[in-house]
Structure 1
Amino acid sequence: MTHSSVLAKDLGTGESKTLRVEMLTPIVEADSTQEQAERDLALYSDEEWAEGQRRLFFIKPLLEKPVRYRADVEEVAKVAGVHFTTLYKWLRAFLLSGHVSSLVPAKAGPRTGTRMLSAEQESVIQSAIDDKYLSEDRGTAQDVVDEVKRRCRRMKLKVPSHITVRARIRDIPKATALRKRGLRDEARDQYQPLRGSFPNANHPYSVIQIDHTPANVIVVDEVSRLPIGRPYLTLAIDVRTRMVAGLYLSMDPPSSVAVGICLSQAICQKREYLAYLGVTGEWPAWGVMGKVHSDNAKEFRSRALSRACEDYQIDLQYRMKKTPHYGGHIERLMGTAARIFLGLPGKTFSNPKERKGYDSEAKAAMTLKELEAYLVDYIVNKYHKNIHSGIGMTPLVAWERGISGSDKEPGIGLLPAPEDPARVQLDFMPYEERTIQRYGYQLDNVHYYDRVLDPYINSVDPKTKQKAKYLIRRDPRDISVTYFLDPADNRYTAVKYRNVAHPAISLWELNAAASRLKEEGLKGVDEDQLFDTVDRLRQRVDDALNATKSAKAARRSAARRPPGTRPAPAKQPARTVAVPSAANDESIHGQKGANDQSFGDDPFAEPITPFSVSLKR
């Protein structure tokens, strides 16, 4: 029995049996005090989100105690300024969900932190703070109080309490105040995190590093088996154990979508993913990580990613400039991946000099799907089972010790697995907000409709008196379907094209069509023109597949279409190139170990498609 299974006892029959962890689900008592279903995390205002984080700050010390006494709760409640029963409600809500969003107030209206002053009074306070306090003159809080009093009397406004004014000053982030008061060095020394230094990476998933790299191998088209170019690989690694946490392989350049898919895969269990790829073996890394460390690229700074990390209490940190050594763990993993590719047909080496005399395109033999299956098999059955020089043991053993413990240190226990992997995947995907019209809604000039939208046509937000906006998510790899968050039950519903005759296309194809129409001088294009252009460009790609000069670009373009819309199969070329088995490949780590496993009879029999999401959340 390993950490991926548990010994369970049937309380009815008394029989004991071994059960896999992923087959278990927690039983929690329904909370009758919960006033409304949890909203999608993207819909909370900044003020609501801040209140949820404030409440987490107070209950966090209690969460860390294995036994919580009423006296402890009452003491914290006094500091928080609430009744101890309210604090118990906060604790119960967070323990049931594990998310910051459960602490966001469910009802609108005045609450702790609500500002009751008029807009004019608030404007006077803010301007006085900017002029007197947040300046290199470094005025005191009393200077601000006096200035507010003077300006309010001049404007014939009621003078706010000095307590209120001082509270506004206390709300200013310390680092911001120091910087604006001319103390930048002090702000940096006191509040800027030491990004990339990991003294607290003391258990599995405490710190995850993530990055991208072009794969040093050329892949071939699924139909023609001819080269289409190098894919991009996104990898995430657990710093403590060196276990690979997640990966994503695509022909598209690095993007926020790649980051989101890789992180959501790292959080979720991977048994179904391995079965889908036809890879045998165990990949027991799952759970919510404490920190994600990345470089400063724009794909790591999307609002969807930042909000998702906040909701899952993931500390998203960025590597400081000119400090490449802070990303050493993921860089070494990228180096390992590069060596893996060196054993494959179609390898491109690391520089042109090494590639001299080797025709990478002529030797290319693996499709993107086959490469993904090979890479996952290698990670699971070789990399995780070979001794890592940095930790003196295999990543798999390091993970098991971190979870189950050893003679020298206790384990942290199994990390909770997400009950709804589809929800995790959605949380890390891009989103848009749209009003609902009689025709439905549109994204990038493409219209979507379903009867579920009817109750919200031309609806108005009662607070702003403006047309209400609703949350929509979509997978850029196939935009034929979007996911509408129905506020009636806080569930996602699949909403497809209004014109069901349109083919499934990727966002990349749609943008390419829009760019072509712009080049042709057309403005104000409509949906039909866009899809006609997509069809036209697809036909050109299909026609170019047999041409010599443009065939490679055409095949790469075809590979970006959604599954099921790619060119029809053609006769396979007579040329065949042997594709190695990852588990039997001895070119990187030497002789095959006793624990190594291999593919089945046909490792590439199953198709590989983007992750699917459930229609209901």
Structure 2
Amino acid sequence: MSAQRFSTGKQFVWQGVVYEIKRLLPASLVSIENLQTGEVKAVSFVELAQALFASELRFLVRGQQNLSAEMRSPADLSDYPPHLRALAEHRLAVIRPILALNPSRRTREAIVARVAEVRNSRPDGEASPHAAVSVASVYRWIRDYTRSGNDLRTLVGNVQRQGGRQTPRLEEPVEAIVRAVIQDRYYVREQVTTDDIYLETMLRVEEENRFRSEVEKLKAPSRVTIWRRIDALDEAGKLVAKRGQREAKEQSTQYGQMGYPSGLLERVEIDHTRIDLIVVDGADNLPIGRPTFTYCPDTATRYPLGIYLGFDPPSYLTVMECLHHAILPKGDMRAKYGVQHEWLACGIPNALIVDNGKEFIGADLQDACHSLGIELDQMPVKTPYFKATVERMFETTNTGVLHTLPGTTFSNPGQRGDYRSEEEACITLDDLMKILHVFLLDVYAENFHRGLGDVPARRWEARVQDGFFLRLPTSAEELKILLGRVTYRVIAHFGIQCFGLRYNTPDLASLRLRLKGEKVKVKYDPADLGHVFVFDPQEQVYLQVDSLDPEYTQGLSLWKHRVIRNPARKEQDKVDLLGLARAKRQIQEIVKASKAAGKSRGRLRAARWEAGGRSVQDDPRDVSPLLALPSKPTPPAQMPGLLVDLKELEQAGWSAGYDLPVKEP
């Protein structure tokens, strides 16, 4: 590094203004001139030194490469390539004998003699640029080196501008052809090679030469020239052309460290994934498929807050089940899953971070968050790094536990190779739930987290001991209502009709008279259509309204109901609940046939049918009577002439999720 001195003639930038030192005054004062305005003023040496070490002042070093940005630090000598460092050291060795002389003895004769000495010491035939020494060069090196405060970097020179670099050497017509070919053929989304551009350039030059005489013909550029032109293109422009605006922005943006909250439940993220594991049926040990895993962590502590594991595809049902599990206390996990530690986390989050999945941006989640006092924060499209905690946890779960289990599908076919996942599968859904609980509570939550700098469980306990009080719902029943899906219906004399089912209770009579035909807000659980909840805007309460056919709707999910209704619609004029009941019996038989067939897709549909939309962690013993899972209906008798095929129904669009519109009869 160089040493600088506040001496006469020195120039520096201070507070964005270029100054030059004119005189050194008594009492450690310095007379400086503003080179823009010509104003001269006296400042103290101490003030200049303090500004220098506060990075508010920097010297302008003559001979050193000009820096375009004020905040850019000059390159250290070690930052230069080895051949340039060797060049600077060679030049210093040339001028060192001259520098040792008294300035009055640095005459032209002394410099000429030194140049001759250097030339004579060169071995015969050496053509190294280090030996290219002239009197003028020595004068320039001495001047730059002394003015810079003996900074060796000034002897490197501005090598970027040597040798005619950045100067086009092609004829202007050829240069125009090269630019046109690159613009037309290179800036496209398809893959283009240098040879493609080179051959097209040669073709266009040949076409241009057809109209020129022999003396005017253009010379085609070489392949290396084309490569250099492409290599010199703006990287951001190439990314936009090849990958699109969004990906170009992602790759060219420098991201800093994300700031995490310090308080519990200030920021909670949620997302889904299909786990990298095929589970099997506990009854016959045949493979079913890959379950859906919905995860909800607290970002301040990285502690897991809630999960959902089941066969339903990502939908509002899986979001609702995960949030319900996250908010309520978890109960005795040691007795239920055999873990060593209890599940500490519960409570209503302050902010819920979601992406742009349809289950996250619909009115259902917005209404639930509004009712529970949760701020719903939707991230921009295709920005998974804004939900880094949950995204990283999916990878940790896969690599930490799922990829080590028999039946794993790994992350991609390249990792899987010839591993036969379905043949090796032997883990049931209940076993997988136990494994996840052990991993989340005994491994992940109790291990040191590098990004957190602490153990997640200890961080959660510390925040609770600091006096943090969790927000909890009034009751489990109210939570289930508020998390339910929302729709709007008109109350008729026969009650409310939803999805072709009727619900009624005597309490609706007074509400119908007060609303006078206005639509009423209705909440329902897509996993249980046995009852709905109607909001009374005057009393500010929800009324439970049971189905008029409890035998049919017992344990009935919305997905099941849509599958059952499809064959009944073929005779829409004759639809009645008896017809639906018969269709339901037929579906039960198809479920049995699908399981017996052993095909993974059919068995996945069958497992979804049997689960009824509930997560495997749900247990009637752990919840209130309102939340209890209805008992499984008695298997119906065999019916001849099955009319329904689940595969055909799915192709018709009746099992894609819970968000499909439903036609009312």
From 245, 255, 260, give the equivalent of 2:305: 245
User: How do 1:383-398 and structure 2 match up within 5 A?
Assistant: 383-398=444-459
* 1:195-251 deviation per Cα after TM superposition (whole angstroms, max 9, x unaligned): 999646122211111111111111122332211110111111111111111111121
Label 1:289 to 1:539 Cα distance change in 2 as closer, same or farther (>3 A): same
User: Is 1:557 matched with 2:617?
Assistant: no
From 406, 423, 428, give the equivalent of 2:478: 423
Secondary structure at the aligned position of 1:310 is classed as: helix
* 1:153-203 deviation per Cα after TM superposition (whole angstroms, max 9, x unaligned): xxxxxxxxxxxxxxxxxxxxxxxxxxxxxxxxxxxxxxxxxx999646122
User: Is 1:382 matched with 2:443?
Assistant: yes
Label 1:429 to 1:259 Cα distance change in 2 as closer, same or farther (>3 A): same
User: Is 1:510 matched with 2:570?
Assistant: no
Secondary structure at the aligned position of 2:367 is classed as: helix
User: How do 1:67-216 and structure 2 match up within 5 A?
Assistant: 199=259, 201-216=261-276
Q: Which ranges in structure 2 are unaligned for 5 or more consecutive residues?
A: 1-254, 628-665
User: Is 1:313 matched with 2:370?
Assistant: no
User: Is 1:365 matched with 2:426?
Assistant: yes
Q: Partner residue of 1:257?
A: 317
* 1:272-306 deviation per Cα after TM superposition (whole angstroms, max 9, x unaligned): 56655554522211222221111111111222321
From 476, 488, 492, give the equivalent of 2:526: 476
Question: 1: distance between equivalents of 2:623 and 2:421?
Answer: 34
User: Is 1:444 matched with 2:444?
Assistant: no
Letter paired with 2:423: A
Q: Partner residue of 1:231?
A: 291
Secondary structure at the aligned position of 2:415 is classed as: helix
Asked if 2 retains the 8 angstrom alpha-carbon contact of 1:203 and 1:412, the reply is no
User: Is 1:432 matched with 2:487?
Assistant: yes
Q: Partner residue of 1:270?
A: 330
From 454, 459, 467, give the equivalent of 2:517: 467
Question: 2: distance between equivalents of 1:480 and 1:386?
Answer: 43
Secondary structure at the aligned position of 1:342 is classed as: helix
Question: 2: distance between equivalents of 1:484 and 1:610?
Answer: 27
Q: Between 232-241 and 360-369, report the one with greater CA deviation.
A: 360-369
Label 1:219 to 1:430 Cα distance change in 2 as closer, same or farther (>3 A): same
Asked if 1 retains the 8 angstrom alpha-carbon contact of 2:491 and 2:508, the reply is yes
Q: Partner residue of 2:506?
A: 454
Question: 1: distance between equivalents of 2:563 and 2:402?
Answer: 31
Question: 2: distance between equivalents of 1:196 and 1:490?
Answer: 46
Q: Partner residue of 2:410?
A: 349
Secondary structure at the aligned position of 1:202 is classed as: coil
Q: Partner residue of 2:281?
A: 221
Question: 2: distance between equivalents of 1:197 and 1:521?
Answer: 61
Question: 2: distance between equivalents of 1:256 and 1:536?
Answer: 28
Question: 2: distance between equivalents of 1:348 and 1:229?
Answer: 10
Question: 1: distance between equivalents of 2:489 and 2:326?
Answer: 30
Which structure has more helix as a fraction of its residues?
A: 2
Asked if 1 retains the 8 angstrom alpha-carbon contact of 2:333 and 2:343, the reply is no
* 1:336-390 deviation per Cα after TM superposition (whole angstroms, max 9, x unaligned): 1112211222111111222233221122222223212221221011110011111
User: Is 1:414 matched with 2:414?
Assistant: no
Question: 1: distance between equivalents of 2:423 and 2:277?
Answer: 12
Question: 2: distance between equivalents of 1:473 and 1:265?
Answer: 19
User: Is 1:536 matched with 2:591?
Assistant: no
Asked if 2 retains the 8 angstrom alpha-carbon contact of 1:494 and 1:615, the reply is no
* 1:502-532 deviation per Cα after TM superposition (whole angstroms, max 9, x unaligned): 25322111112334455x5857844333332
Q: Percent identity?
A: 30
User: How do 1:316-335 and structure 2 match up within 5 A?
Assistant: 316-335=376-395
What RMSD, in angstroms, separates the aligned Cα atoms of the two structures? 3.4
TM-score normalised according to structure 2 size:
0.50
Q: Which structure: larger Rg?
A: 2
Asked if 2 retains the 8 angstrom alpha-carbon contact of 1:260 and 1:428, the reply is yes
User: Is 1:545 matched with 2:595?
Assistant: yes
Q: Between 554-563 and 419-428, report the one with greater CA deviation.
A: 554-563
Question: 1: distance between equivalents of 2:512 and 2:431?
Answer: 50
Question: 2: distance between equivalents of 1:511 and 1:362?
Answer: 33
* 1:471-519 deviation per Cα after TM superposition (whole angstroms, max 9, x unaligned): 443322232343455789766565443234425322111112334455x
* 1:27-85 deviation per Cα after TM superposition (whole angstroms, max 9, x unaligned): xxxxxxxxxxxxxxxxxxxxxxxxxxxxxxxxxxxxxxxxxxxxxxxxxxxxxxxxxxx
Asked if 2 retains the 8 angstrom alpha-carbon contact of 1:506 and 1:560, the reply is no
Q: Which ranges in structure 1 are unaligned for 5 or more consecutive residues?
A: 1-194, 405-410, 567-603
Question: 2: distance between equivalents of 1:365 and 1:209?
Answer: 32
Label 1:565 to 1:295 Cα distance change in 2 as closer, same or farther (>3 A): closer
Label 1:544 to 1:244 Cα distance change in 2 as closer, same or farther (>3 A): closer
Asked if 2 retains the 8 angstrom alpha-carbon contact of 1:435 and 1:458, the reply is no
Secondary structure at the aligned position of 1:288 is classed as: coil
Question: 1: distance between equivalents of 2:559 and 2:621?
Answer: 15
Secondary structure at the aligned position of 1:311 is classed as: helix
Question: 2: distance between equivalents of 1:468 and 1:295?
Answer: 34
Secondary structure at the aligned position of 1:382 is classed as: helix
Letter paired with 1:415: L
Asked if 1 retains the 8 angstrom alpha-carbon contact of 2:524 and 2:531, the reply is yes
Q: Partner residue of 2:343?
A: 283
Letter paired with 2:411: S
Label 1:223 to 1:506 Cα distance change in 2 as closer, same or farther (>3 A): farther
TM-fit CA distance, 1:442: 2.5
Q: Between 212-221 and 524-533, report the one with greater CA deviation.
A: 524-533
Label 1:565 to 1:265 Cα distance change in 2 as closer, same or farther (>3 A): closer
Letter paired with 2:547: Y
Structure with bigger RCO (C-alpha 8 Å, 6+ apart): 1
Question: 1: distance between equivalents of 2:342 and 2:289?
Answer: 31
Letter paired with 1:319: M
TM-fit CA distance, 1:448: 3.1
